[in-house]
Structure 1
Amino acid sequence: MQRDRRAPATTALRLRLLAGAAAVALAASGSMACAQTAPAPSRPPAAAGSDGLTPGAVYMEADAATRTGDLITASATGENRVLARFRDVSLRAGNISYDLGLGIATANRQVEFTDSGGSVIFASQLELDSDLKAGVAVDFATRFSNGASLMAATAVRRSERVNELNYAIFTPCPICDAKGDPKEPSISIQAEEVVQNEELRAILYRNAIFRVGGVPVFYLPYFAHPDPTVERASGFLVPIPSFDEGRGLSLEVPYLRVVSASEDWLISPQLNTDVAPLLNLQYRRRFSNGTVSARTGYTYEENFGDFDANGDNVPDIPISAEHRSYLLAWGRFDPNGPWRGGFTAERTSDKTLFDRYDIRDPYQDNGLYYGDRRRLISQIYVERQTLRSYLSIAAFDIQSLRVAVPNVDAPGLNIFESDDSLPFVAPLIEARWEPDGPVLGGRLRLRGTAVSLYRDAYVGGPVLRPEIIPGGSILGLPGVDSRRVSGQMEWRRAMTTRAGVRWEPFFDMRADAYSVSDLPPILGLDDETITRTRATAGVDISYPLIRRLSDSADLILEPMAQISASTNPDLDARIPNEDSQTLELDESSLFRIDRFPGYDLLEGGLRFTAGARATLRWDQGRQISLFVGRSMRDAEEPGFLVPVPVPPIPMPVLPAQLYDPSGLASQTSDWVVQGSFSPSDRIRGWGHATIDSSGEVRRAEVAVDGHWGRRNLATVSYIIDRSNPVAGPMNRNYEFVQLSGQQFVYGNWGVAVTGIADLERDVITRSEVGLLFDDDCFRFELGYRRDNTRVRPTGPSEGVYVRLNLATFGGTGY
């Protein structure tokens, strides 16, 4: 029990009272204690509260106390205050009286009441009823547990669930500065009358005046918002204004309807000046062992954008009003036991609907598999996981919203990636198992996978090998279907010598069986069955070394190497490459047995991989780390070469145009350079690059984060890909710089900037510059933005943006 700091220990009079009739013993300079008569032996004593007092007990500290019947009166002298604790609440005041029989407490002079939830009430006079609620309070002020404050000249408890405050002010902002002195809150609501309705869990205002920095800016005769202690409540959320070249001015007005503690609806119509409204809905439901969420939107409108490529002011395609909608739903279920499952259902009627209506966060990872940026995935899956085993069974379909061939003159005529060229996967099975104990002193792991993929449309490289890509028109060719079953056994044992050298011998054996159908008819092949095996043996070696440079600094050097030998990988040209089209060589993947992420491509032959990591650490976690590594093989592997992509229109293919996207086709792989640094607690960064034998950077990414002052911060990132050496419309090389940051110039005022520059196209794809105000409870941004991404059918979009986030009331987002 913390004592009032202004109450000297030598003058404090401790009083412990147990409710009920009791004998009273008084001592002029001692302490007073009253004990209740012992309860009947047959009734167990009541459990003590969090303060150690039983439900009928009262604890007081005072300079003087008297008792008349059931009425206890305590007082303090000078600036001291009486402290009373009862029923998990505390009360401080210059004078306190408590009626043991009625359970009513009255207090005056610097009253401070703290309830069991942590909310605090201040007043000059206060009366508490038997329910420990403020019956009447003069000069009332309360601070909620979330920091919000409510003040009034008088407060009266009208009924069990209704409190009325007169001439009141509410603010979610701090009312004291860092030194404890009073300050004007950033945002406040002043009203003639405020009613706190506990049944509605809302605060209602009459003649409300909204103030910003103490200046009145808005008036409403009636206003309401949820009680600050309520986590969720039905009502309007903060509106979301925006501007777009195609929609004009837009205002999204979200309304949250809370059905229960585990279920709610969000109704959020987007009202536009130039096009029809878009109705957005979201439903969420939490079960005892799962969650379901569904977002959808609907409008009936023409497709708007730039569809005039020849400049005659006439759209080059028919434009008519249609039903347009989207669905983004997911569910996860995790009952007790090893099994769990879920689903996602993601579809949109238009390839550009999300862009035209600025739908927030449409691409999310909500399932076992992720659809990637600008791809929607609908899936169903189940999983079973124990300490030693894992099994998953899934099926999914993909809708692509990616631009395959951009139209510079008319972005509305962009050619998108065809959904028919993407596979339907059913089923996809993955399984792993490990025995409980070591096998031959090491860890044994068994894996098994099976997958079936079906396509409606033909796709060339990199799915098909150059040897079987037809040399004529691809018009009308069927999509290649494939099925695969794979089994793998891996054994690995870790050993460390006395000198500190770490040895990890390993052995890996794998077998694949493929069934492929609908290969190009010109090959004269029917349904093909292909089997292959591969065995690998090798050892990983590392020798970590550490040297103390000073009492607060050390240097760690870790050279590492891998030697492995495999049988012929048998890269049969008839096997489609579905799961190994992309490979990112980094410090972790460089030393894997299978460096490709999937099963369709695999390495063989004799390979030697070497690398070293150096780490300098000093002063409590500050460090710089650098890794450099490379792999070599006994012979080149032309099976890793793929044809250069061509536009998705019927045209002859030139298989002779090959390149190596993996960096593993030659006898020496790309160099892998990777590092991180955090020279202070205000700066951190990391970088990664793959460099070919000629010293040219194939891929690289660098990012640096920094912050200074209390709230100033910035992030800069750079990414480049030069893996495709052939120019053309499908050249996928890119180079981007991204910057975001905020700098406060005067007090809570500052500027915020965000920008993405496409250095390959020499254009700023996205940019924002805004004026910023931010304090502990209020953030406001007003600025200018421009969107110049190639996917937008309306072309570049620019205009003013407004973002607002208010403590307690929420922000322009959900």
Structure 2
Amino acid sequence: MVEARNWITRAFLCVFLALWGAMVHAQGTQSAPPAILVADDIQISQDRRLIASGNVEAFQGTTRLTAQAIAYNPDNGQLTITGPITLDDGNGVRILASQAELSSDLQNGLLTGARLVLNDQLQLAAVQLDVVDGRYTQLYKTAVTSCRVCANDPRPPLWQIRARRVIHDKEERQLYFDDAQLLIRNVPILYLPRLRLPDPSQDRASGFLFPEIRSDSQLGTGLKLPYFIKLGDHRDLTLTPYLSNRTRTLEFRYRQAFKRGRILFEGATSDDDLEPGEKRGYLFGAGRFELNKGYRLEFDIELVSDDSYLSDYDFSSKDRLDSQIQITRTKRDAFLRLGFINYKSLRDDEDDDVSPSDVLEALYERRFFPKSIGGEIRLAAIAHGHRRESSVDTDANGDGIVDGRDVVRFSLEGEWLRTYQLGGLQAQTRLGFAGDAFNISDDATSASSDSEFTPMAALTLRYPLAKQGRGRARHVIEPILQLAYVGGDNLDVPNDESTRVEFDEGNLLSLSRFPAPDRRERGWTTAYGGTWARYDPEGWSASVSAAQIIRQDAQQDFTVSSGLTGTDSDFLLAGQIRFVGGLAVSGRTLFDDTFDVTKAELRGDWSNSRLDLSGSYIWIDEDPAIDQNEPIGEVAFDGAYRIDRFWTASLDMRYDIEEGRAATAGAGLTYENECVRVGVNLNRSFADSTTIEPSTSLGVSVSLRGFSADTGQSVVARSCGKQAK
């Protein structure tokens, strides 16, 4: 009987609530959806007031209201609500209050003891809160913070903004403050009679960003105050004045997105004491556009007023700038690239006038799969040209380099590849040709033109062996042998493009290991080696490769540092290992038959829930043929350690082994929680040249969360617990 009576009561309430919703809807605008009320108990008083109590919920469109009791007066259409009250608009705006007087459509009214929560990030506590037309929320005597406030914690939040009045505009998603004070704990730091800030739902809004304090040994102590300007839905501009006792700098960044591409420009202009009376600046720009028929346009601009400007202001560590524009089209069986590059060196020992500064290149590649002969045919056509600013056609300095040489080269390559499977043996054949033609100007030591035809052939054999180890580990051993022939003779043309040669796993089976076609390996060559690998998805995995090249004739254009001099190359040894715990190490080295090392490289990374470490070691033997008169040795380290949920420490360093001193060093400490991010970093550059001086910089940055300061990273919020007595 009790269950039946409860069922009849609930059915009656549902019918009554539907009728009440229709009544409220009739009193409101025709466009507003009807209101729905759900409660444990509903009564109608003698003066026709509707009183709902016990777990009350009211719905109006996406707006949801929960309370302890609601009384509806049909004479004035007002709702008297007893708290605790929660009013959620369904779009990230939530109001908490103790008492409220609202209109029946929940769009206007007065709430006391109220708290406004925006996107679960920013909370505004006020003595009184007014809701106007469902758009504006006015709060009086307000405290604003994104820090978590615990009821049993007597301490004030880490930061807060107190204001006489705050208005939240839901449509514009802006917060307007009257008589605002910024407090750290309870200490006033800044007063502003008027203040406008975006609410947390804003991705992009015009206004000041949080400043950064910077102290530099060359530029002095100054302040960076960025201002973000929203120029529309698809473009924006950020201006950052940087003022100190030694510089007046304006930094800028412009971004714009188009329907089929985007551009980005950033730069700065400075008037400082480092170069008195000189206007200094830089401009970096990049863009990419998807054109019709699969073409892509890309450009990159890098300009600077003087060689040391980027280093002085820590804008970039680049010591060579490259500005380029190119058009590419990539299809399954075809590739096209047209490009132009301009180089500018910022190094003391490089002269742009005698270095190839303008480079123009066109490349077209095509693949065919003829059924009649099988395999794959590859064709490539290349046009290349580079020029120097100088027009001196002789070796003016006696170093074997003509200052003004300009070169134009045309190359045509073709090859046929086919793979045969003979049981467990895999054989790949390659037959091909190359034609190269050169035109040389402003060089009295070389012929003005020359050409060469080069036939090529190669046979590569592989015999992979696999074995299943313990558990799910799998071992693979693959010996490799290649016999190759490249005909013709190298032309007596200057070596402008293939001055730096690398020997590694990537070009082990190449028919020419020169980086450009102005040089080709000639004669008979044998490459042999092998690889062992262990794969285990639940354990450690590793691979080791070893190889050597033996040729009929030594190639005179290979230098010592390449590891390819003489008839027998250095031994190539490379490997990597990866553990389940997050540690990964890879290395590569070249050494001769007496174990003298030409090059060595080692890299390692280790990452877990609290630690991120990465380091590298590199060593290259001296090679006077490429103006490397001393060995190069360097160790680099970069790491971050999460001390606890909020604190993170970082350290990075580059150490020059040959010089016996650090090149750069830096350290940082960051505190981050749900409401603030504070970072302190210290950097030291030990570089010393005629254009770059050693410098030390200290930077302090502060970001208050809750005002569109989302970094895209998850943030740990403090938990509220019992306070120790």
TM-score, normalized by length of structure 2? 0.83
Whether the 8 Å CA contact 1:636–1:665 is kept in 2: the answer is no
Which residue of the other structure, out of 556, 567, 587, is the alignment partner of 1:639?
556
Aligned in 2, Cα 1:702/1:105: closer, same or farther, shift over 3 Å? farther
In the alignment, the residues of structure 2 paired with residue 533 and residue 681 of structure 1 have an alpha-carbon distance, to the nearest angstrom, of: 51
Which residue of the other structure, out of 265, 285, 304, is the alignment partner of 2:256?
285
The alpha carbon displacement at 1:794 in A equals 5.7
Which residue of the other structure, out of 377, 384, 392, is the alignment partner of 1:451?
384
Counterpart of 2:40 in structure 1 is 63
1:238 aligns with 2:220: no
Counterpart of 2:298 in structure 1 is 342
1:292-329 superposed Cα distances (whole Å, 9 cap, x missing partner): 2222322345654xxxxxxxxxxxxxxx6223232212
1:393 aligns with 2:316: no
SS at match of 2:487: coil
Aligned in 2, Cα 1:628/1:28: closer, same or farther, shift over 3 Å? closer
The alpha carbon displacement at 1:476 in A equals 10
The alpha carbon displacement at 1:438 in A equals 5.9
1:402-421 superposed Cα distances (whole Å, 9 cap, x missing partner): 232xxxxxxxxxxxx22223
Which residue of the other structure, out of 690, 711, 717, is the alignment partner of 2:615?
717
1:558 aligns with 2:513: no
Counterpart of 1:487 in structure 2 is 412
Whether the 8 Å CA contact 2:53–2:70 is kept in 1: the answer is no
Paired residues for 1:463-542 under 5 Å: 473=398, 477-494=402-419, 501=424, 503-518=426-441, 520-521=443-444, 523=445, 525-542=446-463
In the alignment, the residues of structure 2 paired with residue 217 and residue 327 of structure 1 have an alpha-carbon distance, to the nearest angstrom, of: 40
1:581-609 superposed Cα distances (whole Å, 9 cap, x missing partner): 33443333323444444333333423223
1:671 aligns with 2:616: no
Gaps of 5+ in 2: 20-30, 713-725
Counterpart of 1:572 in structure 2 is 491
Whether the 8 Å CA contact 2:615–2:638 is kept in 1: the answer is no
Whether the 8 Å CA contact 1:482–1:576 is kept in 2: the answer is no
Whether the 8 Å CA contact 2:499–2:626 is kept in 1: the answer is no
Whether the 8 Å CA contact 1:76–1:95 is kept in 2: the answer is yes
Aligned in 2, Cα 1:395/1:13: closer, same or farther, shift over 3 Å? farther
Whether the 8 Å CA contact 2:212–2:699 is kept in 1: the answer is no
In the alignment, the residues of structure 2 paired with residue 61 and residue 348 of structure 1 have an alpha-carbon distance, to the nearest angstrom, of: 68
Aligned in 2, Cα 1:141/1:395: closer, same or farther, shift over 3 Å? same
The alpha carbon displacement at 1:60 in A equals 6.0
Whether the 8 Å CA contact 1:594–1:603 is kept in 2: the answer is yes
In the alignment, the residues of structure 2 paired with residue 514 and residue 105 of structure 1 have an alpha-carbon distance, to the nearest angstrom, of: 90
Whether the 8 Å CA contact 2:634–2:656 is kept in 1: the answer is yes
The alpha carbon displacement at 1:220 in A equals 1.3
Aligned in 2, Cα 1:27/1:224: closer, same or farther, shift over 3 Å? same
Aligned in 2, Cα 1:101/1:334: closer, same or farther, shift over 3 Å? farther
The amino acid that maps onto 1:485 is: F
1:219 aligns with 2:179: no
In the alignment, the residues of structure 1 paired with residue 552 and residue 76 of structure 2 have an alpha-carbon distance, to the nearest angstrom, of: 94
Paired residues for 1:332-481 under 5 Å: 332-335=288-291, 337-359=293-315, 362=316, 373-404=318-349, 417-425=350-358, 427-435=360-368, 440-457=373-390, 473=398, 477-481=402-406
Whether the 8 Å CA contact 1:12–1:61 is kept in 2: the answer is no
Matched positions, count: 695
Whether the 8 Å CA contact 1:13–1:62 is kept in 2: the answer is no
Counterpart of 2:144 in structure 1 is 170
In the alignment, the residues of structure 1 paired with residue 154 and residue 479 of structure 2 have an alpha-carbon distance, to the nearest angstrom, of: 62
In the alignment, the residues of structure 2 paired with residue 99 and residue 339 of structure 1 have an alpha-carbon distance, to the nearest angstrom, of: 68
The alpha carbon displacement at 1:517 in A equals 1.6
The alpha carbon displacement at 1:737 in A equals 1.9
1:268-295 superposed Cα distances (whole Å, 9 cap, x missing partner): 22212124x1222222222211222222
1:78-98 superposed Cα distances (whole Å, 9 cap, x missing partner): xxx344555344443334578
In the alignment, the residues of structure 1 paired with residue 509 and residue 244 of structure 2 have an alpha-carbon distance, to the nearest angstrom, of: 55
TM-score, normalized by length of structure 1? 0.75
SS at match of 1:689: strand
Counterpart of 1:740 in structure 2 is 638
The alpha carbon displacement at 1:636 in A equals 4.0
In the alignment, the residues of structure 2 paired with residue 333 and residue 767 of structure 1 have an alpha-carbon distance, to the nearest angstrom, of: 38
The amino acid that maps onto 1:63 is: D
In the alignment, the residues of structure 1 paired with residue 12 and residue 452 of structure 2 have an alpha-carbon distance, to the nearest angstrom, of: 95
The amino acid that maps onto 1:226 is: P
Counterpart of 1:206 in structure 2 is 178
In the alignment, the residues of structure 1 paired with residue 310 and residue 403 of structure 2 have an alpha-carbon distance, to the nearest angstrom, of: 31
In the alignment, the residues of structure 1 paired with residue 505 and residue 220 of structure 2 have an alpha-carbon distance, to the nearest angstrom, of: 49
Which residue of the other structure, out of 265, 289, 293, is the alignment partner of 2:237?
265
Identity of aligned residues (%): 22
Counterpart of 2:265 in structure 1 is 294
The alignment yields a C-alpha RMSD, in angstroms, of 4.1
Gaps of 5+ in 1: 1-9, 15-25, 38-53, 305-319, 364-372, 405-416, 461-468, 642-658
In the alignment, the residues of structure 1 paired with residue 368 and residue 154 of structure 2 have an alpha-carbon distance, to the nearest angstrom, of: 66
SS at match of 2:659: coil
SS at match of 1:387: coil
SS at match of 1:94: strand
Aligned in 2, Cα 1:195/1:56: closer, same or farther, shift over 3 Å? closer
Counterpart of 2:83 in structure 1 is 109
Which residue of the other structure, out of 496, 506, 527, is the alignment partner of 1:588?
506
Whether the 8 Å CA contact 2:551–2:568 is kept in 1: the answer is no
The alpha carbon displacement at 1:509 in A equals 1.7
Whether the 8 Å CA contact 1:805–1:812 is kept in 2: the answer is no
The alpha carbon displacement at 1:160 in A equals 6.1
The alpha carbon displacement at 1:788 in A equals 0.8
The alpha carbon displacement at 1:393 in A equals 0.9
Whether the 8 Å CA contact 2:419–2:428 is kept in 1: the answer is yes
In the alignment, the residues of structure 2 paired with residue 95 and residue 113 of structure 1 have an alpha-carbon distance, to the nearest angstrom, of: 14
Aligned in 2, Cα 1:100/1:483: closer, same or farther, shift over 3 Å? farther
SS at match of 2:457: strand
